[in-house]
Amino acid sequence: MSLIESELLFSTLALIVRLGLLVLFVFSLAHKLRNLSLFNENIRDYRLTPEGLNAVVAAAILFVEFSIVILLVAKPVIGFALAGSMLLLYAVAMFINLMRGRSTIDCGCGRAGTGQTISYSLVMRNIAISLVAFLSTQGPAIASFSQQQLLLGLAGLVVTMLLYSAINELLVNAPKLHKLRTR
């Protein structure tokens, strides 16, 4: 593979990652805004802030996620660094609760009503996605992509989102499958 071909491949992969993270945070923000009371319950259930500050923390998270979405488009390097930091923060919050033995709380991952609880798998997922976000700060700006790369990037985004959804369904159902096996 020539240097030009490898640069083309890298920049197309970077586009897929960038679009995927943008979609992830748009859906995350939309989920929280659709059901603010559930979001506030999730903040309370994590028990990481004093009760009186939960509303302030919820508002701050909404502001940061909105900023991430804007920055992913306007200033990608800053947006992806902030996205990676936020995903790590979520991973730390889950890890602290798992270490406290609190594995039955809703993860607040954007799928209301699924009963997806925090787990070490979700901690690892967030760490992996945050690493991808940090690595993507090194790619080219989205505006510098050709039309072919944009089309390929969009197709790659669809495949990536389908894989993400499939993996997330496995994570949601893993505890249920474990219960069935141990009967």
What is the 3 state secondary structure string of 90-146?
Answer: HHHHHHHHHHCCCCCCECCCCCCCCCCECCHHHHHHHHHHHHHHHHHCCCCCHHHCC
Tens-place pLDDT, residues 12-43: 777 788 888 998 999 889 989 998 998 999 99
pLDDT at residue number 127: 95
The rounded percent of the chain whose pLDDT value lies above 70 is 87
> Using one digit for the tens of pLDDT, what is the confidence trace for 86-134?
999 999 999 999 999 999 898 887 655 566 889 999 999 999 999 989 9
Taking CA atoms, 69 is separated from 6, 22, 52, 65, in Å, by 29, 6, 28, 6
Cβ neighbour number for residue 59 with a 10 Å cutoff: 13
pLDDT at residue 6, rounded to an integer: 67
- pLDDT value for 176: 72
* Domains of the chain, residue spans: 3-181
Cα distances (angstroms) measured from residue 88 to each of 19, 37, 96, 120: 19, 24, 12, 13
- The pLDDT of residue 89 is 97
